[in-house]
Amino acid sequence: MAKRKFGLGLSLLLTTSALLGACGAEEGAVEEEEGAAEEVVEEEVFSVAMVTDVGGIDDKSFNQSAWEGIQRFGGDNALEEGDGGYAYLQSASDADYNTNLNNLIRRDFDLVFGIGFLMEGAIAEIAQQQPEQNLAIIDAVVEEPNVASVLFKEQEGAFLAGVAAALMTETGKVGFVGGMEIPVIERFEAGFLAGVEAADPEVEVDVQYTGAFDKAELGKTTANRMYSAGADIIFHAAGATGNGVFTEAKERVEQDPDANVWVIGVDADQYEEGAVGDTNVTLTSVLKRVDNAVYDISTLAMNGEFPGGETIVYGLEDEGVDLADSRGAITEDVLAQIEEFKAQIVSGDIVVPETVE
């Protein structure tokens, strides 16, 4: 009997061990599955991309600034350039906008930016076709729930440029070279004219539009006419076309080191663009912090707070626009007056017009 009881006990022990082993195996499998699921979640990475307008990625202006913002976002979040990280596609013409946007969407980028007012129609169309895709546009408003629209108070930065030009001109005549006659460029013009008027209403302003953002030769010929007619400072808001304004100014200095010609850059600090020998023709630049805006929107989207359907506007008060360091080109007394005007704009004492009318 004792022997039989021992055998029964051994059988029960083996059965219990098997059951416990099976349970342990099942629990281990569950834990492994949960661990694998956690690993999958941890491996999910946010990705962002942009499509340039015809100005190109190296326009020394807002396309380049936007790309710098995306690169900074990628670096700060350990992303790599390419699919699954960050990227851009360049548009040679407006016919490329829809194609490039769809290309990036097919490559599964979580957020895709359209850079520039000219992409408004393409973003609106794609937003309706791809309602689950997060999109953003710079310099235009697309009223779709999956689109974040980003605008700037360009007129506020341009106002300060107008003050600088009016107080620094020696000929009493300055110029404005615009790209296309669209709202964003007209805001630059309106602000510049208002700033000149506020600082010195006797100063004349020659306004010319080239009709393009990617024609440096047009910027050069337009600047040539303005300088030849007596303007000594030209503010351009013409994207890559504005590179021609710099070329004309630099050539004049190369021919005559005493030539009194200056350029006010746009969007990014264009100081390096004005370098000629040991001197520089860049008076200052109207900064438009597209890089910060792109970075901010990307961060919100990554954190699950994408502002779809909203319009976000950046101005002087939140450092969305400003003047670049003049590096000594603008005198201290003029800089002091610029700061006074800036304070009045931020406080609301001066409301800068958005249109010339």
Considering the domain boundaries, does residue 62 fall inside one?
Answer: yes
Torsions phi, psi of 50, nearest 5?
-145, 155
Torsion 126-131-136-140 (CA) sign: positive
pLDDT at 230 over 60: yes
Q: Is the pLDDT of residue 170 over 60?
A: yes
pLDDT of residue 106: 98
* Helix H or strand E encompassing 110: none
pLDDT at residue number 15: 42
What separation in angstroms does the CA of 230 have from each of 162, 171, 290?
17, 7, 33
The per-residue pLDDT of the chain, averaged, comes to 90
The pLDDT of residue 251 is 98
Q: What is the pLDDT of residue 357?
A: 79
Q: What is the pLDDT of residues 15-25, one digit of tens each?
A: 444 444 444 44
Helix or strand holding residue 8 (H, E): helix 2-43
pLDDT score of 273? 95
Instruction: Determine the structural domain holding residue 194 and report its residue range.
Output: 154-287+327-347
Burial of 316 (0-12, 13-18, 19+ CB in 10 A): buried
pLDDT value of position 34: 53
Do 211 and 261 fall within a single domain?
yes
Answer yes or no: is pLDDT of 3 > 60: no
Domain assignment of residue 245, yes or no: yes
Q: Is residue 142 located within the same domain as residue 168?
A: no
In this predicted structure, the answer to whether residue 213 has a pLDDT above a threshold of 70 is yes
Alpha-carbon distances of 177 from 35, 64, 198, 203, rounded to whole Å:
61, 20, 20, 16
pLDDT in tens, 280-324: 999 999 999 999 999 999 999 999 999 999 999 999 998 899 999
Pairing type for strands 147-152 and 134-138 reads parallel
| Co-location of 207 and 281 in the same domain | yes
Quick one: pLDDT at residue 27?
52
Is residue 134 assigned to a domain? yes
Q: What is the CATH number of the domain that holds 338?
A: 3.40.50.2300
- Whole-number pLDDT of residue 43: 58
pTM for this structure? 0.83
Q: Are residues 113 and 224 in the same domain?
A: no
Q: Are 354 and 321 in contact (CB under 8 A)?
A: no
pLDDT digits (tens, 9 = 90+) for 40-98: 445 579 999 999 998 889 887 889 999 999 999 999 999 999 999 999 999 999 999 99
